[in-house]
Each structure stands twice: as structure tokens, then as C-alpha cells.
Amino acid sequence: MTKYITDQALVREFNLSSVLRLIHAQPPISRAQMAGITGLNKSTISSLVDDLLTQNLILETGSNTGGGGRPATLLEMNPQVGLIIGVELGVDFVSVAVTDFLGNIIWRRREDADPTEDQDKMINQTLGIVKEAMAAGKKKNTRFLGLGLATPGTVDIKEGVLIFAPNLHWRNVPFGKIFSEQTRLRVFVENDANAAAIAEHLFGTARQCQDFIFVFAGVGIGGGLFLNGKLYRGKNGYAGEIGHSPIMAEPSQTVCHCGNRGCWETYANQYSIIQRIQARLEVKRTSIIPKLIAEHNSPLSIPIIKQAADAGDREAIDSFAEAGHAMGQGLAGLINIFNPEKIVIGGPLSIAGEYLLPAIKETVARHALPEIDQQVEVLLSPFGPDASLLGAIAIVADDILSHPSSIEGI
């Protein structure tokens, strides 16, 4: 009898999740439409909808009066069901945001950080910002649904532990334990590219897409792979470390943060672009970049190079193009292997997307199989540099969409 009851509960939770995800993906939607899509009978749909209304996860919003007959009540997500805190740990920054359930940002803060300093110092800096976020959120007189943390590197999502982040040189950091103890919230930890892919699937350009690859382009190159509508994690959960794939037959002299040579990201990340510019300036090529560095009184950076490119600086434009060609080489291989519907590019380098994309597309067309390449759309994420920050939000929202009943205990 106990097993039967347990099985019934699991089936109901599965059906609740299916209905909630459908409302999230295709709002506004009627009960009759959901019955037609899911194959569940109308009485079951009504019962499930009643549960979701009771939990305040969804709202009834107007009626569909088209087509004659009795108007059908329409349903959509309730963005005010609670707040979510998102934390993005970058190599040289920390970003924190508070959003509603649909990812609309109501508070945010970003601070520079020095990864060469003590690990505890950077974690304490992050916790300080999170506590400010919680104080701001409490003014909204609503509950917190959880905290999501996106970090570069390999992550044990069950334990909430960062296993290894080559670009941070951190190993075995129990982020889940640290942040749950300090905030008393449910905490979810995820690789930054995987998190960004989940955000793209929930909130972005891949909402109706079953097979796509999110490429996080910044200090490193990371990938989040959605296959058949689900994030692909691999055997141990570490799939997507695409930036450490070798793309050159003769590895360069540049040593990747992982310790190897010839890694894709060493040719296509933001450091590679900065190094190209530095090499060009050393041979005294004409460029406005030195002037911009002096005006900003800051080191050479991607925003400065982007500003130069916008002003027509040839060295900046060509350096972005070279990185785009390198990025396209790696993407062509991924396209041939996975045959995705879309390649979505986000992260810090996406601010230069208008200079990267033409070279990326040209190289993909040259190296990917024509029959596959013609079916693939390569585009920029609407979230740009905030892709992983929104990803940190999305991993909390996604857990609630998968386990709607969990909200009762929050």
C-alpha cells in the first residue's frame, strides 16, 4: 500500500511539473489546450491547475473569447510567487541579483574581485553582497524561493561543491554548504555555462528549442548542451568543458589555465584578443587604443577594444575577427557532432558580437558539413554578459518547475 501511495505521489508530481512547464512555456493557455497537448483528461488538468493556483504558482488571467462558445479562462505564471537570488562568480568579478520568478531583475550589484587574493576573502565579499540583496528583497514583503550560484569549472550539483575551476585555481569549494548556512535558503550550485543554457531555455531565445548549444565566451570558453530538451551532463556531470578541446595539430606556446597547450579557449577567449592587440601595438601599428587606455586610466580590456572598433579602429576590428574565426573552428566541430538547431553565444565577449559573428559564421560555413550547417542558427544571447547571472536565477526556477510541491515548504 505504501509503495502504491508513493507511486501515486510521484505520478502526480510529474503531472504537476508537466502542466507548470507548459504554462511557463506557452502563456497564456487554457485548461482545454493543455489537455490537448498533454493527453491528460480535463478533470485531471483541472485538479492539477487547482493545486498550482493554491500554491500561488500560477494566475488566472482573462478569457479566450475567440471561436464562439463558452469563453475559456487563461492561465499564466505568477511572477510574484517569490524572489530568487542569483550569484555569478567570475574570474575577476562578483555579480548578484534579485529577481521575480520570471527573471525580471529588481536589484543588482557587481563588484570587481581579485582571484589571486585569498579564496575566503572573495567568498566573504560575495556573502556580503548577498546579505545586502536579502535586505533589499525583504522590503518587497515576500519570500525567497532560493539562491542560485553560477561558477566556472566542474561542479558536483548534488553536493553543491565546486570540484575544480582552472581559471580560478580553486578546488573542492563547498559553496552549497557555505551559502545555505549563511542565508538559510535553499542553495543550488551550477557550472556557469550550464546555468546560462538553462536560462536560455527558460527565458531566452531557446524556449521552444529541444537541441541547442550555449557557448559562454569570456575568460574561458564553456558550453551548455541541451539535447532532446534536457541539459546533457555526461557520466559524471562534467560535460560541456568545450574550451579545453584541442583545435590545433601543433599546440601553441600559450599554456591554458588547465595546464595543457592548444586548448580552444586560448585562441578565442578575451585574453587572446587582448594579446593580439598588445602584439599589434608593439609593432607600432596605428590605433586609437593607447589613447583610450589613457582616457579610461585602466588596463587594456574588451570594452576598450570594443570602443575602438566602434570608432572604426582597424586593429580592434581585425583582432575581434581573428578570435571569431577561432571560435568558428570550434563551433564547426560541435555542429558536426551534435547537429543542434541553434548555437547561442553569451558572456562577456558577446558585447563584441557584431564583430565576432560574421567571422564565426564564415568559418562555420567553411568547416561544418553543409547539410548540417544550413540547418543551424548562430545567434547572440539576449542576456549578453549577464547570461550566467540569469542562469543562476534560472537553476532555482527550474527546480521549482520540476518539483512544484517543494514550494510548500519554503
Do 238 and 316 have their domain in common?
yes
In the predicted model, is pLDDT for residue 275 greater than 50?
yes
In the predicted model, is pLDDT for residue 285 greater than 80?
no
Domain termination residue (choose one: 24, 47, 77): 77
CA count, 13 A, side-chain hemisphere, 357? 14
> What CATH number is associated with residue 308?
3.30.420.40
Do 393 and 356 have their domain in common?
no
* One-letter amino acid of 358: P
Instruction: Tell me the pLDDT band of 166, cut-offs 50, 70 and 90.
Output: confident
Do 216 and 308 have their domain in common?
yes
Segment 169-184, tens digit of pLDDT: 899 999 999 999 999 9
Grid coordinates belonging to 200: 536560455
Q: How many domains does the chain have?
A: 3
Q: Cite the DSSP H helix spans in 139-191.
A: 175-183
Do 310 and 372 have their domain in common?
yes
Please state at what angle helix 302-310 crosses helix 289-296, rounded to 10 degrees: 130
Q: How many residues are listed for the chain in this entry? A: 410
CB within 8 Å of 141: residues ≥ 6 apart: none
Do 231 and 189 have their domain in common?
no
Q: For residue 256, give the DSSP letter.
A: P
User: What pLDDT, on the 0 to 100 scale, is given for residue 332?
Assistant: 96
> What CATH number is associated with residue 55?
1.10.10.10
In the predicted model, is pLDDT for residue 3 greater than 60?
no
| 202 touches 292 (CB < 8 A) | no
CB within 8 Å of 25: residues ≥ 6 apart: 207, 208
In the predicted model, is pLDDT for residue 308 greater than 60?
yes
Do 235 and 318 have their domain in common?
yes
* One-letter amino acid of 315: E
> What span, in angstroms and rounded, lies between the C-alpha atoms of 300 and 311?
16
In the predicted model, is pLDDT for residue 51 greater than 70?
yes
Instruction: Tell me the pLDDT band of 314, cut-offs 50, 70 and 90.
Output: very high
Q: What is the mean pLDDT of residues 185-192?
A: 97
Do 257 and 369 have their domain in common?
yes
C-alpha separations of 71 from 30, 32, 67, 281 in Å: 10, 11, 9, 68
C-alpha separations of 184 from 7, 127, 176, 181 in Å: 31, 12, 11, 6
C-alpha separations of 379 from 151, 162, 225, 361, 375 in Å: 23, 30, 15, 10, 13
Domain termination residue (choose one: 27, 60, 77): 77
Do 178 and 310 have their domain in common?
no
CA count, 13 A, side-chain hemisphere, 406? 14
Do 86 and 67 have their domain in common?
no
CB within 8 Å of 5: residues ≥ 6 apart: none
User: What pLDDT, on the 0 to 100 scale, is given for residue 67?
Assistant: 55
Q: What is the mean pLDDT of residues 291-306?
A: 96
Domain termination residue (choose one: 46, 61, 77): 77
* One-letter amino acid of 327: M
> What span, in angstroms and rounded, lies between the C-alpha atoms of 43 and 48?
9
In the predicted model, is pLDDT for residue 226 greater than 90?
yes
User: What pLDDT, on the 0 to 100 scale, is given for residue 1?
Assistant: 45
Do 337 and 403 have their domain in common?
no
In the predicted model, is pLDDT for residue 4 greater than 50?
no
Matching residue, cell 606556446 = 253
Buried b (16+ CB within 10 A) or exposed e, 273-292: bbebbeebbeeeeebbbeeb
Distance from first CA to last CA of the chain, Å, rounded? Answer: 29
Do 267 and 374 have their domain in common?
yes
* Domain ranges, residue 45: 2-77
pTM attached to this predicted model:
0.93
Q: What is the mean pLDDT of the chain?
A: 92
Do 24 and 63 have their domain in common?
yes
Instruction: Tell me the pLDDT band of 211, cut-offs 50, 70 and 90.
Output: very high
User: What pLDDT, on the 0 to 100 scale, is given for residue 66?
Assistant: 58
